[in-house]
Amino acid sequence: MVQRRPLVAGNWKMNGSRSESATLLDGIRKGVSAASRAEVAVCPPYILIPLTAEKLAGSPAAWGGQNLSVHKSGAYTGEIAGPMLRDYGCTYVIVGHSERRTLNGETDAVVAEKYGAAQAAGLIPILCVGETLQEREANQTEAVVARQLDAVLDRHGIASFRNAVIAYEPVWAIGTGKTATPQQAQEVHRFIRSRLAVRDKAVAENTRILYGGSMKGSNAKELLAQADIDGGLIGGASLQAEEFLTICRAAD
Ligand SMILES: O=C(CO)COP(=O)(O)O
């Protein structure tokens, strides 16, 4: 049987002052154990990455960015490149989060380009996919998720998923307190894995697929108990060390 190591990653989004973040990082550092089965990561806003690197250096916790430029360097005012994230010790970078797709107009093609830029910089992309409420109600969930996945698969190939993580985040569950039921999430996770398996069974079996959307200490266990849910991408609940660590322990 394949043993996928669970990953619990915090997506802080645009939250945290320097002092709040220092407290949060100290709490996480204290709480993560090298002996735990689950891997723990945090993705703070860019400007807090140096502080994160300083606070978590030498701990079992990893860190990453929430976005990156498609370019390596150059005249792109306001952008941050993959190699810069790598330079600050980032392991991961989130690509294609629904907030960026919706609010920043990131298309499937742009997301695929960012996924490639992340891997080129030696980062592990956390590729986010997921449907809106309207799409779910129109029975479009699988079609939407397939389209988002295929954009990356067609461009970078199934082998690229040896170095990638997928996060299924139903848009209607993000920040709404409305979690997908474990069964609803499992159905889509299984669909994603089967979509990968069409191209390569072994890669599909080894790819970690995280759930994201109102996951918290009180519902994490049930979600993480599903066969194809390999961890979580946590928004709001990752801003409090104890709450976040409760989810990490549930993944153990
Ligand atoms: O978007 C998310 C993580 O990327 C989920 O956010 P919430 O956990 O706040 O619903």
Which atom of ligand 1 lies nearest, measured to the CA of 233? Answer: 3
Give the rounded distance of the alpha carbon of 121 from its chain centre: 17
Which atom of ligand 1 lies nearest, measured to the CA of 13? Answer: 4
pLDDT, tens digit only, all 252 positions of the chain: 678 999 999 999 999 999 999 999 999 999 998 878 999 999 999 999 999 999 999 999 999 999 999 999 999 999 999 999 999 999 999 999 999 999 999 999 999 999 999 999 999 999 999 999 999 999 999 999 999 999 999 999 999 999 999 999 999 999 998 889 999 999 999 999 999 999 999 999 999 999 999 999 999 999 999 999 999 999 999 999 999 999 999 999
152, part of any domain: yes
CA-based end-to-end distance of the chain? 17
179, part of any domain: yes
1, part of any domain: no
Rounded to the nearest angstrom, the distance between the alpha carbon of 1 and the centre of ligand 1 is 30
Rounded to the nearest angstrom, the distance between the alpha carbon of 92 and the centre of ligand 1 is 17
2, part of any domain: no
- For tokens 């970690």, the residue is 208
Protein residue whose Cα sits closest to atom 2 of ligand 1? 235
Number of folded domains in the chain? 1
ipTM: 0.99
Closest CA to 167 of 94, 67, 66, 68: 94
For ligand 1, is residue 231 a contact (CB within 6 Å)?
no
Say if residues 224 and 189 touch (Cβ distance below 8 Å): no
Say if residues 94 and 128 touch (Cβ distance below 8 Å): yes
CATH (domain of 81)? 3.20.20.70
246, part of any domain: no
82, part of any domain: yes
- Out of 106, 113, 131, 169, the active site residue is 169
CA torsion sign, 96 to 98 to 101 to 107?
A: positive
For ligand 1, is residue 170 a contact (CB within 6 Å)?
no
Model pLDDT, residue 16: 97
245, part of any domain: no
Secondary structure class of 162 (helix, strand, coil): helix
For ligand 1, is residue 234 a contact (CB within 6 Å)?
yes
Domain with 62 in it: 7-164+171-207+217-238
Dist CA 69 CA 245 (whole Å): 30
Model pLDDT, residue 3: 85
- For tokens 């907030």, the residue is 99
At 74, give phi and psi (nearest 5°).
Answer: 125, -165
Which two tokens mark 71?
């370019």
pTM of the model: 0.98
Active site (annotated) includes residue 97: yes
247, part of any domain: no
Model pLDDT, residue 1: 64
Active site (annotated) includes residue 71: no
Protein residue whose Cα sits closest to atom 8 of ligand 1? 235
- Out of 97, 99, 106, 131, the active site residue is 97
CA distances in angstroms from 189 to 3, 122, 203, listed in the order given? 16, 26, 15
Q: DSSP string spanning 104-158?
A: S---HHHHHHHHHHHHHTT-EEEEEE---HHHHHTT-HHHHHHHHHHHHHHHH-G
Model pLDDT, residue 212: 98
Dist CA 230 CA 209 (whole Å): 5
Model pLDDT, residue 98: 98
